Amino acid sequence: MAAGGNGGPSREDLDALGEKLAEHERRQAGEERRRRRRAASPYGFGFRLVTELVAGVAAGFLGGWALDRWLGTSPWFVLLLTPMGMAAGILNVVRAARSAEGERHLDAIAAAEEEARKGSGKKE
Amino acid sequence: MKGEAAHGAAEAAGGLALDPMHQFQIQRIIPFKLGGLDLSFTNSTLWMFIVVGVCAAFLLLGGSRLVPSRWQSVKEMTYEFVAGMMRDILGDSGRAFFPFVFTLFMFILVANMLGMVPYSFTVTSHIIVTFTLALVVFILATAVGFVKHGAGYLKMFVPSGVPAYMLPILIPIEVISYFTRPISLSVRLFANMMAGHTMLKVFAGFVVALGILGGWAPLAMMVALTGLEILVAFLQAYVFAVLTVIYLNDAINMHH
């Protein structure tokens, strides 16, 4: 390191070091995110799809029940809105699976299957 | 979970009265009533304060030097983690919401992690707590949508590229789908935390019931489950934060 006038590191040195650190940090952060996505979140994503389905039915039923109580039309809104809630749940699941996050999981699964097929092929 | 096992042992001694749900009970520490409302300071309140305290201590202590210590590196990593996730989903348009999302993420993460400490109370294992959090997110996202797009935000509920005679069926479905958000958001976090902690308690009960000869198998299972639970604690905080950002993104950019 080129020493400054009083033995300490010069301004340019520090700037260069800072830049290098920032570059490294960016790369590491990107890698970290990618790795975590591939490794840890399929469980979370799977659970997300399940709750999405359940929440649809629950929202439909609760909405219908509240409307029935308010308007005194029991049980008609429950009968109408619960199936609609199921449809909404399925819609949410399809949307979540088609989102960028869902695509990434599907890619990861396809890649893992490909790898597994190659691995078992080699052994036989 | 040594503490939980010991806890189970104490209860099993009194005639196997092991109750895996006991850990979720709300106890009043300082009873307090305001009108008809029970506003007592409970163990849940206490643990919320502890969670906020731990969050604050984690973020405020540990220094902020140019060359970070290990502690500071961990702090910066959490910041980078949430900021990066927000950049991925929302782009730079949502920088204003970073404090909100980061606070939410830290609160849930620390609450989940502190729940793993034996004898502690898991704040996020109560649906009323997670539902309130989800409702805050839901109301904020809806308000942002209406502020940003005015009445145009209602177009969210009209799917594009659909024949007009289908709309009377599809619009109510879209509306219900919108209202499922706070439910799915809260149920996911609450169910994960409650199921995990109940399972740990049940296995702890097996360890005690099977004694020194047969207790090893459930004990090994518990070690594995504890690891899984720590992963779930992190993951659920992350999923909650991600979905918050996705909902904010829907409100700001309005593509469904």
- Asked whether the ipTM of the predicted complex exceeds the cut of 0.90, the reply is no
Give the range of the structural domain holding residue B162, as residue numbers without chain letter: 2-253
Write the pLDDT tens digit of every residue in A32-89. 555 555 544 677 788 888 899 999 999 999 999 999 999 998 889 999 999 999 999 9
**Tens of pLDDT along chain B (256 residues)?**
444 444 444 444 444 456 888 888 888 888 888 888 888 899 999 999 999 999 999 999 877 788 888 899 999 999 999 998 898 888 888 889 999 999 999 999 999 999 999 889 999 999 999 999 999 999 999 999 999 999 999 988 888 888 889 898 899 999 999 999 999 999 999 999 999 999 999 998 888 888 888 889 999 999 999 999 999 999 899 989 999 999 999 899 886 5
Q: Looking at the 3D structure of chain B, how many domains does it have?
A: 1
Give the nearest partner residue to B179 out of A30, A59, A99, using CB atoms: A59
Report pLDDT for B255.
66
Q: What is the pLDDT of residue B14?
A: 43
CB-CB neighbors (< 8 A) of B88 in chain A: 33
Query: Which residues of A touch chain B, with CB atoms under 8 Å apart?
Result: 25, 29-30, 32-33, 40-41, 43-44, 47-48, 51-52, 54-56, 58-60, 62-63, 81, 84-85, 87-89, 91-92, 95, 99, 101
List of residues 6+ apart from A5 with CB closer than 8 A? none
List the end-to-end C-alpha distance of chain B, in Å, as a whole number: 44
pLDDT tens digits, A77-102: 999 999 999 999 999 999 888 877 77
Q: Flag if B235 and A52 touch (Cβ within 8 Å).
A: no
Interface of B with A in 49-88 (CB under 8 A): 80-81, 84-85, 88
Q: What is the model's pLDDT at position A6?
A: 60
Q: How far off is chain A from B113, nearest CA to CA, in Å?
A: 17
The residue ranges of every structural domain in chain A are 9-39, 42-123
| Cross-chain residue pair B84–A29, CB shorter than 8 Å | yes
Q: Which of B76, B176, B183 to mutate to test the interface with A (most CBs of A within 10 A)?
A: B176
List chain B residues with CB under 8 Å of A99: 246
Chain B nearest-CA distance from A90, in A, is 9
Give A110 to chain B, closest Cα distance, Å: 22
Name beta bridge partners: B28: B42
CA distance linking residue B13 with residue B30, whole number of Å = 30
